[in-house]
Structure 1
């Protein structure tokens, strides 16, 4: 019988990651940044497909936050699909379906609709050429004209020095006997670390490898297994990926990393000049990757992109709503890129963050706010792009359909937080305002859950839950006593009441009054 894994790691489960770039609203905004018309920011029936969805957290979060969208996702690891379906059922989602098909099998299904979005995060570089061809063919057959394809992948030349290290890790792990894959991976990483300190010329000639090894050491071992130890790992030049998707009539329109689009943050004046002299888009992006030594790309392609007129682009921008995901006082005044930075004038930064503080607003509303009109729309737009790029602000959906999105996300978030009482598996809540996910730490999920249950003593509820599940807090490597636990929990509760709770409510994540009842109800007008 043929090996169904095709060399892909399946004996180690993938991490439960959420990726904001997958959201229809986020992808639509990145297209708008390039002046391209795209679905996603308006309340309209849409169909969305994620290829290689892993544990399905991203798909489930997005399904909760976008009930007007029908979601389909496949991952050929059946264990992942079982977990994804279980979360969807617990969250009451009826607009998502999960499959355990291979890409070739999924391609031949006759029960799938044409899609407005096809997304693949961290897939294209980790599969065989045959599977890549299946994905391109899927996009050719299934993506609607005008639809968006999002793909992230490892990139050359940034990976050129890393591939010999990867080969070394794989070969060393293969000699480590019958231990578990995770234990063999850990041993191989330790070996590479030792080797790097012995004056090895390979490491000496590639000084950035020390930083890479240090970064690897901070990652979850399950993530490392999938990132470095699959049979297939192919870093691509952008020009080759663009040619692949051109076979499906797809054109590259821009990066899904907003910071990457601000050249002043990433390129010198002379570098910008030499790129401006290159007319061919694929060549220009490939040259840019060499300038910045790019090692990972997040790209959007559209089947038949339609460029908006200047007036239409301006109107779309003015209608787009934005919501902060951090208190205004926590928004830095400096935006950093690849060796360059931009500083926001303090008066401008304060006016902008005040306009958005705990209240999503359209750009049309923002530019009319006191202290902002004088700065002009272009400066405000660049600031918003930089905030979105840093994950401090999110493009948001229209108010149409908000009540239903609230209802769906509350049920889903309740399922996530209830699971967190036993194990911190899911790190993200769904936001009905942004149509996206927001990271919520374990203890903040538990505090939120206590509010939903209207617990009279939130700290006592959390301590009781931790005691029953065997979870403990530690400080400076030492497990805390019960009294110390209660003190730390009290600090977290106070922080939640002051900042985190109001921020969640501004993103549409309602907080019911508990017995303590100190979080103000900041419900937004629908």
Structure 2
């Protein structure tokens, strides 16, 4: 019997994550920061969509026609059920890459996205994808690709290999992947306890192993235990993509655009001496010990002149997605934690504190005596990178998408009655999703049923939990009894109503 998995972990589903970098709405500011023009996105494709939370969010929350595949039929079935619930323009399949990429019913695409997939597939599948991008990505179209890279994996890659081999050789058949993961981690700890020369030469390995011990086993199974796994140098990826006529545009990770938090003055000076842009990226990866890259590539990069760039920056609309008081004036880059300039950031955050969409041009006029456009643009880039601000789409798109996001969110909130798998809801304002934990989803579900007061939300949630034999856990201890559970839920509901609900209303989620 042939193995349809081709060595990829398939006996445990991937996590129900949402990856904002896949949102085409994020292209604009990133491209403008790089001095590049950006395409309008009408058709998009995601290869290897996992459980489909991202592709469904982006299809429901925009007017973009999305296509995609994930070869795991369980994951594809879940994603299709979500698409059916929302009515989004999403065409989702369970084809392997070679079959999907040869389909004759696919349009040409303005945008193709792959999150992490590139690192976990064979060279044969990489060749299939590059050929697909060459044939199906429009001129001017964008490829988003994220992948494990070197030199950041140099020290831990041997340990990853050892853990996977332990799973293959020592793992008990028929018990599933999770026991193999646990056993491999335990064995790695036993090995390091013998103080091997490898660990002495790579002292950070112990710390890295301690970090992964507490990570989600679904994630670890897919990250560490696939047959194919290759952290790839940036220059090697560039060679792969050259036959698809792609040029490097910029990082999709917004904080990479801010050199002051990532590179020393000496490092910046060295990079400025290097005429080749691709080689500069390779050298930069050594400077920051890059482990994971998130990049935009474009079929035909086009520069924008200074006037066009300024006009388009001023037109960019944004919204504050975090409570104003929760935004710390600190940011973490490759150089460590840095303080934001309060004289620049505080006025911007104060102006956005009502969670209404504003353009950078409006902020420039409001704050003209304190900050200029360049400072606003950099601050917004940092705040988007920190997850506090998001780009906003036009009002017409927002209104048309809202019917679909309402259906999608109601479907997911209904799922939350019995599961905490999906912790994201979609917003037609930002064309994507934001994190909304299970209890907050259930408060919203109660509210959608006409239950208005936080005290009533708490009682609604407690009845759901009690009917399933579930109780709250606070500070590591199980909360006992109806009265105490309801009291704890009431406290959470009141805090939600005061802090999160206004933001969810502004995002047209509530």
Deviations 1:467-515 (A, max 9, x none): 12333211233211122211211111111111100011122223xxxxx
Name the CA distance, whole Å, in 1 between partners of 2:369 and 2:356: 18
**2: distance between equivalents of 1:118 and 1:131?**
16
| Contact map agreement 2:11 2:176 (CA 8 A) in 1 | no
Consecutive unaligned residues of structure 1, counting only runs of 5 or more, are: 511-526
CA change 1:177–1:340 in 2 (3 A) is: closer
1:409 aligns with 2:408: no
Deviation at 1:295, TM superposition (A): 0.7
1:340 Cα offset (Å):
4.5
Q: SS of 1:88's equivalent?
A: helix
Where does residue 521 of structure 1 map in the other structure? none
| Distance 1:82-1:162 versus aligned 2 partners, 3 A rule | same
1:115 pairs with one of 109, 118, 137: 109
Q: Where do 1:415-454 residues align within 5 Å?
A: 415-454=411-450
CA distance in 2, matches of 1:97, 1:471: 37
1:497-508 paired onto structure 2 within 5 Å = 497-508=497-508
* Match in the other structure for 1:329: 325
- Equivalences for residues 40-51 of structure 1 within 5 A: 40=40, 46-51=42-47
The within-5 A match list for 1:359-508 is: 359-369=356-366, 371-455=367-451, 457-481=456-480, 482-508=482-508
- 2:124 counterpart residue number: 130
Work out whether residues 163 and 185 of structure 2, in 8 Å CA contact, stay in contact via their aligned partners in 1.
yes
CA distance in 2, matches of 1:215, 1:91: 37
Map of 1:288-303 to 2, 5 A cutoff?
A: 288-303=284-299
* CA distance in 2 between partners of 1:343 and 1:171 (Å): 44
TM-score, scaled relative to structure 1: 0.93
CA distance 1:295–1:345, change in 2 (3 Å): closer
What aligned pairs does 1:150-165 form with structure 2 within 5 A after superposition?
A: 150-165=144-159
> Per the alignment, in what secondary structure is the counterpart of residue 138 of structure 2?
strand
Residue 170 (structure 1) shift = 1.4
Structure 1 residue 234 corresponds to structure 2 residue 230: yes
Equivalent in 85, 89, 99 of residue 90 of structure 1: 85
* Structure 2 SS opposite 1:400: helix
CA contact (8 A) 2:429 2:507 kept: yes
SS of equivalent to 2:466: helix
Contact 1:348–1:372 under 8 Å retained in 2: no
Between the aligned partners of 2:369 and 2:405, the Cα distance in structure 1 is 35
CA deviation after TM superposition for structure 1 residue 342, in Å: 4.4
> Which of 216-225 and 143-152 deviates more?
216-225
1:176 paired to 2:156: no
Paired residue for 2:277? 281
Task: Supply the distance in 1 between the matched residues of 2:432 and 2:393 (Cα, whole angstroms).
Answer: 9
The equivalent residue for 1:55 is 51
Candidates 129, 137, 141, aligned match of 1:143: 137
SS at match of 1:21: helix
> Does residue 1:351 correspond to 2:347, yes or no?
yes
SS in 2 for 1:368: helix
Root-mean-square deviation over aligned CA pairs: 1.4
Structure 1 residues 219-228 or 483-492, which shifts more? Answer: 483-492
Aligned partner of 2:100 in structure 1 is: 106
Question: CA distance change for structure 1 residues 320 and 335 in 2, over 3 Å: closer, same or farther?
Answer: same
The secondary structure found in structure 2 opposite 1:465 is: helix
How far apart are the structure 1 equivalents of 2:37 and 2:325? 34
Detail structure 1 runs of 4+ shifted over 4 Å in the superposition: none
Q: Could you say which residue in structure 1 is the equivalent of 2:71?
A: 76
Q: Tell me: CA distance 1:423–1:341, structure 2 relative to 1, closer, same or farther (3 Å).
A: closer
Q: Distance in 1 between matches of 2:369 and 2:237?
A: 42
Aligned-partner Cα distance in 2 for 1:123–1:205: 31
User: Which residue does 2:202 correspond to in 1?
Assistant: 206
- Cα distance in structure 2, aligned partners of 1:334 and 1:364: 25
Alpha-carbon separation, structure 2, partners of 1:267 and 1:347: 23
How far 1:204 sits from its partner (Å)?
2.0
After alignment, is 14-23 or 187-196 more displaced? 187-196
Q: Secondary structure at 1:374's aligned position in 2?
A: coil
The separation in 2 between residues aligned to 1:382 and 1:401, in whole angstroms, is 27
2:254 is aligned to 258
* Alpha-carbon shift at residue 402 of structure 1 (Å): 2.0
1:519 matched residue in structure 2? none
Structure 1 residue 373, shift from structure 2 partner: 4.1
1:194 paired residue number: 190
State the partner residue of 1:520: none
- Contact conserved, 2:245 with 2:299, CA < 8 A, in 1? yes
Q: Secondary structure at the match of 1:234?
A: coil
| Contact 1:61–1:430 (Cα < 8 Å) also in 2 | yes
Aligned counterpart, 1:33: 33
Structure 2 gaps of 5+ residues are none
Task: Give the deviation of 1:180 after TM superposition.
Answer: 2.1
Distance in 2, Cα, partners of 1:117 & 1:123: 16
The alignment partner of 1:50 has SS state of strand
3-state SS, counterpart of residue 118 of structure 1 = strand
CA distance in 1, matches of 2:410, 2:211: 34
